[in-house]
Amino acid sequence: MHSKQLRGHIAHRELLCIRRASIEVCSMQGFLLAFSDSLLLFQYIYDFRLDGYLIIRRSDVTELSCRDTDRFQRELLQAEGVLDRIDFEFSAPIQSFDSFLASRPADEIVVVEDEVSDPQEFLIGTVSHVADAAVHINHFTGIARRADPPEQISTDRITSCQTSTNYIRFYERYFERLAQHA
């Protein structure tokens, strides 16, 4: 993955097949929006739906390609008007997970994962702070119970970060309803 190739994928707004063989068996799809020496930022696509932003480590990607299937499915996305809803100008500091996570608004819910450790780590919540090569997450459980104190994960362990996904939006709406009834 040379920078020239990555710039071409961005310029042509290609739907890409993303493989991380050491992390997961299945490939993913997305539109590359930006990259740094260490990270790739995608508009993630799942089952023909926009599913938020996905930031992954560049070193974990074993294949990044635009296959015939991806070209055809991009046409389907365009015909359905999905491409018109993609913010191809979205930008964020992605020099590192530290810089990205430190830039997030205090109330934005993120998902941070370590997909290679045993056990794997999945943290969902808002960013409390980033310091000393670690991110502190105001984590909540699958039943929306906040953990106290914030969970901490070393940024060198993070393999992916997600924002604005359908999964996250369901929890955001739940917390909004909860606040309205308080």
What pLDDT digit, counting tens, does each position of 132-160 carry? Answer: 999 999 999 989 999 889 999 999 999 99
Quick one: tokens of 37? 């020496």
In this structure, are 129 and 78 located in the same domain? Answer: no
Section 13-35 average pLDDT: 96
Considering the chain, what is the average pLDDT of its residues?
Answer: 95
In this structure, are 81 and 104 located in the same domain? Answer: no
Position 147 in a domain: yes
C-alpha dist (Å) from residue 126 to 45, 140, 182: 23, 9, 20
User: What is the per-residue pLDDT across 35-51, written as a single tens digit (0 to 9) for each?
Assistant: 999 999 999 999 999 99
* Residue 34 identity (one-letter amino acid): A
In this structure, are 128 and 168 located in the same domain? Answer: yes
Domain end: 63, 85, 107, which one?
A: 85
Q: Quote the domain boundaries for residue 45.
A: 3-85
In this structure, are 20 and 70 located in the same domain? Answer: yes
* Residue 17 identity (one-letter amino acid): C
User: What is the per-residue pLDDT across 50-81, written as a single tens digit (0 to 9) for each?
Assistant: 999 999 999 999 999 999 999 999 999 999 99
Give the CATH number, domain containing residue 67. Answer: 2.30.30.100
Domain count, the chain: 2
In this structure, are 66 and 106 located in the same domain? Answer: no
In this structure, are 80 and 109 located in the same domain? Answer: no
Which H helix or E strand runs over 13?
Answer: none
Three-state DSSP at 84 gives: helix
pLDDT of residue 182: 74
Output the CA torsion sign for 4, 32, 77, 27.
positive
In this structure, are 103 and 71 located in the same domain? Answer: no
User: What is the per-residue pLDDT across 89-138, written as a single tens digit (0 to 9) for each?
Assistant: 998 999 999 999 999 999 999 999 999 999 999 999 999 999 999 999 99
pLDDT of residue 127: 97
Q: How far apart, in whole angstroms, are the C-alpha atoms of residue 40 and residue 131?
A: 22
Which H helix or E strand runs over 102?
Answer: helix 97-102
